[in-house]
Amino acid sequence: MINKRGQVTIFVIIAVVIIGATISYFAFRDSFKIGGIPASIEPVYTSFLSCLEEDLSVGIDVIESQAGYIIPPDFEAGSPYMPFSNQLDFLGNPVPYWYYVSGNNLEREQVPSISSMEEQLGGFIEDKIDICRFDSYYDEGFIITQEIPEAKVSIQNNEVLVNLNMDLTIEKANDTALIRNHKVVVKSKLGKLYNSARKIYEKEQTTLFLENYAVDTLRLYAPVDGVELSCSPKTWIADNVFDELQDAIVANTLALKSKGGSYSLRNEDNKYFVVDLGVSEDVRFLNSKSWPNSFEVVPTKESVMIASPVGNQPGLGILGFCYAPYHFVYNVKYPVLIQVQDGEEIFQFPVAVVVQGNKPREALDVSAVEVGEPELCRFKNTLVEVNAYDTQLNPIVADISYECLGTKCDIGKTNSEDLEFPQCVNGYILAKSEGFVDSEYLYSTIEEGSVDIILDKLYEREINLKLDGREYGGNAIISFISDKSSKTIVYPDQKKVELSEGQYEVQVYIYKNSTLRLESTTSEQCMDVPKPGIIGIFGLTEEKCFDIEIPAQIVSSALSGGGKENYYILESELENSNIVEINTRGLPIPKSVEELQNNYILFEEKDLDIMFI
């Protein structure tokens, strides 16, 4: 009986506990916590995690489309000799080259590592997480506070993880939650695509398969080595050769396929375009005639390639025929954009293809391809206080770097704390801030000290162009050239320009439609050839002349106005105006080559009237 009473007592206690828990849930369910977060606050935190996930997804898209970079390296311009900058403009977006040749003919690589991509994604999230929108929750009475974020990103083959350390406080009425660690995982093949891209890049650098295809295309579509049975010179117009060669490069580059992926070989003739890259993803190769390129050929005479005949020399007339051998040497440079695709995701990176003297460039050693920190930048042991100001001495936040002996180190941002610099004599402190002209300051960092840097503010102003006092809406090229920064716009497609205080040379070139026809020209080339018959054996010759014709062309757009003016722009003029009005003078529309040449002479004498209104 005692045992039975004990069992009954236990059941009664359990029933009371269940009933009490049920009553408590319904009475306090608005404050009920799931994972330590009150139920009333949970929707806000869910929205925050969604924002974090969206920021990470956007960052992944950017880094895949920009060759592994959120912020591309500082722009480096190319040159007429080497047309590549360090970025390829693809549909308006800068895509850093993984391999290119600089304007001063130095080979460069800028291949990001996984760790640098993770660091960039982390910085991107830290910048974006502060602008998550909670407007609807603020209207409901929520108080949301975010502290300084610190993001750590891990890129895996099929997912990207972010661990964000940031105090997030959410309050409403009597409910409060403080969450310090936030984790999000996004399904993405970024890591897998990057690894495959690296394999393709290393394949290109070790085998130069793109350059070998370029050489084949060159020999198939352009005269390189050969013989023509002819006693008269064989001629080609270099511009026509280059145009046909460019079309062939675009088509043949697009025809390249990766062995594997979704491509299956059905036609034996297509094997030539199949490359074994050792990756399972689909790979595309792109080129465009509008991208920077360079085509050179020697020997030429005024853009005409000539193969002179052989067989008309004394003693060879008995052969009864002549032949024209030729050997042309080409330098060809153009970019190829490589896209690695798996499903909806595409990772892309460009490389420069370089053929020198009809041969592929020399292969690079890719055993240490990752971009590492320069040796100078590893030892930052000099504290320097750096302050940046505008021209009114208002403090501004600027990105600071240090350049010495050709090496550039990222230092940090101007703030209340001193910055750490590597030791160097006569280096330059570089300051950059959005909306201001970049500035540099000569400074030796062998001792601690302080530096104040003044940055000139940029003002975006509209250009109003007039020709002989009347509004002009035709084509023109307008340049503002200064030591600090130079700007050029194509008018009227572009009507705004960013200017700062300083000395400028303003140049305006106005072009109008022209029907000027440059007639075809014929030059005569004469040479001695053996006389026909047996007398040619004894060296008797006669003179024969051949005509070399350069075809006619139409000059559809000719210089018809413009001028130059040296002008010091004051900041007060920029502050108190919205429009820069430029009045220029017209030139006669040329009807002959002499008049066209005369326009360029007159252009140098024309001045401009510049007003800020």
pLDDT digits (tens, 9 = 90+) for 417-430: 789 999 999 899 99
Measured over the CA atoms of residue 80, residue 81, residue 86 and residue 89, the dihedral's sign is: positive
Looking at residue 233, what is its pLDDT? 60
Residue 547 lies in a domain: yes
199 and 328 part of one domain: yes
pLDDT at 314 over 70: no
Q: What is the DSSP letter of 62?
A: H
Map 15-57 to HEC letters.
HHHHHHHHHHHHHHHHHCEECCEECCCHHHHHHHHHHHHHHHH
pLDDT at 332 over 90: yes
- The average pLDDT across 273-286 equals 92
**Phi then psi for 373, rounded to 5 degrees?**
-75, 130
Contacts of 193 (CB under 8 A, 6+ apart): 64, 281, 340, 341, 342, 345, 346, 347
pLDDT at 232 over 70: no
Residue 98 lies in a domain: no
pLDDT at 159 over 90: yes
Residue of higher predicted confidence among 40 and 113:
113
Q: Is the pTM of this model over 0.75?
A: no
- The average pLDDT across 47-72 equals 94
204 and 246 part of one domain: yes
pLDDT at 366 over 50: no
C-alpha distances in Å from residue 38, one per residue of 35, 44, 315: 8, 10, 106
Distance CA 521, CA 382 (A): 69
pLDDT at 385 over 60: yes
Looking at residue 50, what is its pLDDT? 92
Residue 95 lies in a domain: no
Contacts of 581 (CB under 8 A, 6+ apart): 464, 466, 610, 611, 612, 613
pLDDT band at 578 (very low <50, low <70, confident <90, very high): very high
pLDDT band at 138 (very low <50, low <70, confident <90, very high): confident
- Only one residue has tokens 């990470």, namely 56
Residue 233 lies in a domain: yes
pLDDT band at 504 (very low <50, low <70, confident <90, very high): very high
- Given 454, 489, 521, the domain boundary residue is 454
- Given 438, 454, 470, the domain boundary residue is 454
Residue 255 lies in a domain: yes
Residue 100 lies in a domain: no
Domain of residue 567, residue span: 459-612
Looking at residue 267, what is its pLDDT? 47
Least confident of 238-242, 403-407, 488-492, 544-548: 544-548
Looking at residue 38, what is its pLDDT? 82
7 and 65 part of one domain: no
- Given 188, 212, 244, the domain boundary residue is 188
pLDDT at 301 over 80: no
Looking at residue 317, what is its pLDDT? 39
481 and 607 part of one domain: yes
308 and 322 part of one domain: yes
How close are the terminal C-alpha atoms of the chain, in Å? Answer: 106
487 and 576 part of one domain: yes
209 and 267 part of one domain: yes
Number of domains in the chain: 5
pLDDT at 337 over 90: yes
Task: Identify which of 147, 130, 133, 151 has the alpha carbon closest to the alpha carbon of residue 44.
Answer: 133
**Phi then psi for 457, rounded to 5 degrees?**
-75, 145
489 and 593 part of one domain: yes
174 and 219 part of one domain: no
450 and 482 part of one domain: no
Distance CA 64, CA 60 (A): 6
Distance CA 409, CA 396 (A): 21
Q: Which CATH number fits the domain that encloses residue 409? A: 2.60.40
Contacts of 394 (CB under 8 A, 6+ apart): none
Secondary structure (3-state) at 97: coil
C-alpha distances in Å from residue 215, one per residue of 33, 194, 210, 299, 332: 69, 28, 9, 18, 9
pLDDT at 312 over 50: no
pLDDT band at 261 (very low <50, low <70, confident <90, very high): low
pLDDT at 95 over 70: yes
Distance CA 275, CA 308 (A): 40
Looking at residue 79, what is its pLDDT? 78
Residue 44 lies in a domain: yes
Residue 103 lies in a domain: no
198 and 308 part of one domain: yes
183 and 126 part of one domain: yes
